[in-house]
Structure formats: structure tokens, C-alpha cells
Amino acid sequence: MKGILGLLRKKMKPESDKERQDSMLFTTAFTGLGLDPNLMVPWEARAAEVGATRMSAERGTKLLQAAWSKDQFMRPLNKEAIARMEVFFSFATVGANRDLIRQDEYGNFMLVLLSGSVAIDRLQPWGERLHLSEATPGEILGEMSLLDSGIRFSVCTTLNTCEIAILSAEAMDEMVATAPALAANLVALLARKLSLRLRAVSARLRDNK
């Protein structure tokens, strides 16, 4: 993570196509692991599968600003910073009982829950579905796979109609290239929030042994 942050701090706005290509930190990470690109599940495919409908960027940004203003970790991103992120996020509405993220798949996007609630479960090898937590507005889902191109740890299922913000690897790289300070701040905050979540999940799994 320190290496990623170091690269982000050093990035300047690309002056050529070659510099833009060299700035691809997130979109090339998956192929860099030697994995079959066909294993990747992009948001576009998942959106079609779950019947997601597009939401206006104006409404999505306002919801994101409101949600993160109440989050102790994401609060450093003020309204102005989040407004600048609007061009990098896409926004959608998804109905109830839809899997936004599935366990053990590869994905190149993360989600921010803007309204509604999402169940986060872990499927056990013996078939049991272990309920880990319930995400509420402002919570981030799938950021681990976006950062390290690893498999999804859990399944995330909408419990009711949800509005979400989506950030893809391609959009993250574009943010790195065109707004490096903003991207560095976002990644740093994601890392802190992710660390807290991993500690909570580890404690939950330990207690359920």
C-alpha cells in the first residue's frame, strides 16, 4: 500500500499517451498477476445481470456527500473534493435481493452504498452462510479487490432497493492521471477504512470458531 501511495504522490498530469499508459496502476494489476482476463467480472456485466438502472450524477454526488460527511474515515473528503470525483464515479439503482458482489469472483470495481441496506455474508466450505454485517449508507464494498486485484472475500446482497456509486479500475487510473492528489487522498482513506473492516471480520470469524 505504501508503494501505491508513493506512486500516486509522484504522479503529474500526463503530457503524452506514453505517460498516460505508464500511469495505469489499477487496470493492469489483474493481468500482471498472470490471470485469465475472462475471469474478471466488470461492473457493466454485473449491472446488466442485476437489472441496475442509471442514476443521475447530480443526485448520486449529493447522496455521496451526505453519506461520507457522517463517516469518520471518509469525512476528510469534503463536499468540494467529492464534487470533483463526480466525473470518475457512475451511479445506479438496484432492486432487492440482487448480488452486487459474489464471493470468490474477480472484480475491477468498488461500490459505495448511498441508500438502502446490503447484507455481507461469507459462504463457508460446508455450505453455511455466515452473516458478517449489514452495510448502511456510506459503506464501501469491494475496495479490497480494486486495490489488489484479488478475489472477492464475501457476497454482498441488496436487502431492499439500493442506490449505489461505482468506481472502476479504469476510472481510478484516470483519477490518478488527472487528479493525483485527490486519488492519493482517496486511496489513503480507503486503506484506513479497509484495515478497520478486516480487523472486525477477523474478530467475528474468530468468535464463530
Helices of type H across the chain:
2-10, 17-22, 29-32, 43-50, 57-69, 79-85, 143-148, 169-178, 180-207
| Higher per-residue confidence, 44 vs 146 | 44
Question: What does the pLDDT look like over 172-182, one tens digit per residue?
Answer: 999 999 999 99
**Percent of the chain residues past pLDDT 70, beyond the cut:** 80
Q: Which domains does the chain show, CATH number per domain?
A: 2-9+32-204 (2.60.120.10)
Within 8 A by CB and 6+ apart from 85, the residues are: 61, 64, 77, 175, 182, 186
pLDDT digits (tens, 9 = 90+) for 82-109: 999 999 999 999 999 999 999 989 888 9
- Over residues 132-160, mean pLDDT: 89
Q: What's the confidence (pLDDT) of residue 180?
A: 93
pLDDT digits (tens, 9 = 90+) for 8-32: 444 444 444 444 445 567 676 656 6
Tell me the pLDDT tens digit for each residue of 74-85. Answer: 888 999 999 999
